[in-house]
Amino acid sequence: MDTNQYKEVFMSEAREHLELLNQYLLELEQDPSNKEILNQIFRSAHTLKGMSATMGYEKIATFAHEIENVLDKFRNAKLSDATLTPERIDLLFELMDTLERLIGNPDSSESIDLSGLEELKSLTEIEEDENKKTKTFKIKVKLSKECVLKLARALVVIRELEKIGFITETKPNREEIENENFDLDFEVLLKTEKDEEEIKNAIGFVPDLERIEIENAELERLEKPKKPALKSIQSVRVSVDRLDTLMDFVGELVINKIRLAQLARKYELSELKETLDSVDRITTELQDEVMQMRLVPVEHIFNRFPRMVRDLAREKGKEINFITEGKEIELDRTILDQISEPLVHLLRNCIDHGIEKPEEREKIGKARVGTIKLIAQRQENHTTIIIEDDGRGIDPEVIKKKGLEKGIISQEDAYKLNDEESMDLIFVSGFSTAEKVTETSGRGVGMDAVKASIGSLGGSIKIDSKVGVGTKITLQLPLTVAIIQCLLVALDNETYAIPISKVIRTIKIKRSEIKTIQGKEVINYRDKIIPLVYLRKILKVPKKREIDKCVVVLVEKSGKEVGLVLDAIISQEEVVIKNLDYKLLKNTKGFAGATILGDGKVVLILDLISLF
Amino acid sequence: MQEEELQLVIFRLKNEEFGVNIHQTQEIIKKPEITRVPNAPSFVEGVINLRGRIIVVIDLNKRLGLEVEGRDENSRIIIVEVDSEVVGMLVDAVTEVLRIPKSNIETAPSLVASQINIEYLQGVGKLKDRLLILLDLNKILSEEEIKQLKQAEML
């Protein structure tokens, strides 16, 4: 069999199982006596073994089999905190890591380190509870003809059996049963410590069971069911590149659609206009569909974190309760890819600097175990990701002091900065609050890199912190990167686009309303003094003539409102972002990208974070 | 034995003739509307829309430190690909495409009657009484050079 074309599929599925394994192990660590979790781990390892064997990856299959054996021993042992000590869970995690390495490179001939495995094997052997040897039973269940809730009854039987043992096989298989593809009979192979009588008691209460037969089936396997008829394909896996290409095409289509609409208006072709209306509707729907296709639940990256948090917390001697919420929230995969690293960095910061050591926490009257929350929320036109800890918080004064020491700000600046502005120093390159560079937080990627990568997605980052209470970091992310709403603004005959997500409101003013306070130009708007920034100066647009009227676009920057002064607002448009990732423009700051308008004109999209 | 030849696109900057390997050029277009990019290096003319792609255009005169005369209808943009990046070069005129034997190219020209910094030259092609200056596009479009240039601007 040519396995190459299936390799990708295998690897992605295997990774999903690994993720599950890690997740279950974390749960098991919290609840070491829970057999059900252990069974789930066993099942995943079993599936992995099967998959690898099918693909001919003997090494992975053998290794998975060994893991299965170890797990089996745990299953047969009496589970308690003493059996599954954190050290042993560590060893199990190590096995998962080895498994991950193997899966990452299934064709490699690299030898595997089996010391952890051996250690676990020898450990568990001692503790095996000899009195409680498991046996395998074949349980045949027949439902009565009058039974109207076939599926429900069958599932209850299976659930009850799972409580007392481990189901190795069912006939028909689980999927078939769950799809109600069986008549009145089904069979279950159960590995359990219980005897026939106890099994019967366990499921005897289920109504509508006409007959229960239990046979000892120590060596028996259920007769292999016939291959089910091919099901129609419900979903396909598509490579991300193809989705990207599709997105590009949709982008082009939108641009050309706008162009056509302009032509129709210009030449007043009403028939063309009618057709265009329907093209318009279809394009919008197409755009929505493609967008939907690119959405991936944040779960994909969130699921990796519990393990990371756990390992790091142990390493740092901290106790942390890690909570994730909103895993089902979906994000464009490009965004998801790009926030993964920043999130790792932020979480590391929480563990390393945020959460105090257990003793320290107790001393100041906090719960011994610190809490880190990772929350995804969907707002109307953006997604928010919040990382919150109940650690020591960030002191703006300390930040300010550090900024002074590192020469990022002058003494004069230090007096002027308010708390929020001081906090913003964290994002200045070259700033790191760590007393010493640690492996955890001092990896060269600083908060400036985090901010830059969130910014490049058109998102923003905000820190709220209370000394002694904790820190909350909020990432605001657009729903999609490719198409955004922009305000097109004019400066003489140049046009620029401002992402609408950054705009609070626009105000028309007369020049005479601009006041000067301490040498800075401001306006008084609704009893608030708002500093002004002249886009013309920043963008070096040659000055032509002074117009009396101008427009101020209020935007938020570093938690403060700033007014951008410009000539006029042209329109609000949906634009397709094209990046300006060119070597020649590497040192040119201030633009999030460019877009092509309906008339073919290129317009630059302002990035308010790096612009001023 | 047939002598190896090089096919060149010949263009004009002020009154000097330059050549660029035809394999490095993608197309030659008339000057479209160019969008200025504020705060970019001074020789960056701006960005253009080339059939839905955004391309950076540099003014080759400025890049090479030559005077810029008023542009006329002869101005062209040569789209080149260097290091897998596509860039447009604004030139005064594109005159012809010609073949030149490799042996006619002097790679280390000792004496050139040109105002161009010798660093940017790849060689000089001699064809009868004409001198064709071959530019080193990698250098002209490289980051290092640009950085130095930026620093010089700031001084």
Digit-coded pLDDT (tens) for A558-605: 667 899 998 888 888 878 788 787 888 877 888 888 988 877 889 999
* Min Cα separation B74/chain A (Å): 22
Q: Which of A601, A496, A480 is nearest to A555 (CA)?
A: A496
Lowest mean pLDDT segment, chosen from A157-161, A426-430, A597-601: A426-430
pLDDT over 50 (residue A221): no
- A251 — pLDDT class (breaks 50, 70, 90): confident
* Min Cα separation A117/chain B (Å): 49
Lowest mean pLDDT segment, chosen from A10-24, A233-247, A477-491: A233-247
Mean pLDDT over the full length of chain A: 80
pLDDT over 70 (residue A283): yes
A interface toward B at CB cutoff 8 Å? Answer: 252, 255, 494, 538-541, 578, 580, 582-591, 594, 596, 600-604
B54/A538 CB distance under 8 A: no
Lowest mean pLDDT segment, chosen from A181-190, A238-247, A601-610: A238-247
Q: Distance between CA B64 and CA B97 in Å, rounded? A: 22
pLDDT of amino acid B73: 82
Q: What is the reported pTM?
A: 0.52
**A95-126: pLDDT as tens digits:** 888 888 888 777 766 666 666 677 776 665 54
Q: A368 versus A233: which is more confidently predicted?
A: A368
- Residues of chain B with Cβ-Cβ distance to A603 below 8 Å are 35
Provide mean pLDDT across the span A286-295: 82
Q: Which of A252, A538, A594 is nearest residue B54 as measured by Cβ atoms? A: A594
Q: Which of B39, B54, B58 is nearest residue A578 as measured by Cβ atoms? A: B54
B85/A588 CB distance under 8 A: no
Query: Torsions phi, psi of A271, nearest 5?
Result: -65, -45
pLDDT of amino acid A79: 58
What part of B 23-52 touches A (C-beta under 8 Å)? 33, 35-41, 44, 46-49, 52
pLDDT over 60 (residue B148): no
Q: Kindly list the catalytic residues of A.
A: 46, 68, 349
What part of B 94-153 touches A (C-beta under 8 Å)? 141-143, 146-147, 150
pLDDT over 70 (residue A489): yes
Q: Distance between CA A463 and CA B45 in Å, rounded? A: 39
Q: Distance between CA A306 and CA A322 in Å, rounded? A: 7
Tokens of residue A113, six digits: 């380190």
pLDDT of amino acid A435: 43
Q: A439 versus A243: which is more confidently predicted?
A: A243
Closest-approach residue (CA) in chain A for B57? A584
Q: Following CA atoms A377, A379, A381, A384 in sequence, which dihedral angle do they give, to the nearest 10 degrees?
A: -40
Q: Which of A538, A588, A601 is nearest residue B37 as measured by Cβ atoms? A: A588
Q: Distance between CA A216 and CA A192 in Å, rounded? A: 11
pLDDT over 60 (residue A36): yes
pLDDT of amino acid B70: 67
Q: Distance between CA A543 and CA A550 in Å, rounded? A: 14
pLDDT of amino acid A369: 92
pLDDT of amino acid A219: 56
* Min Cα separation B48/chain A (Å): 6
pLDDT of amino acid A563: 92
Closest-approach residue (CA) in chain B for A583? B143
- A438 — pLDDT class (breaks 50, 70, 90): very low
B121 in Cβ contact with B112 (< 8 Å): yes
B38/A540 CB distance under 8 A: yes
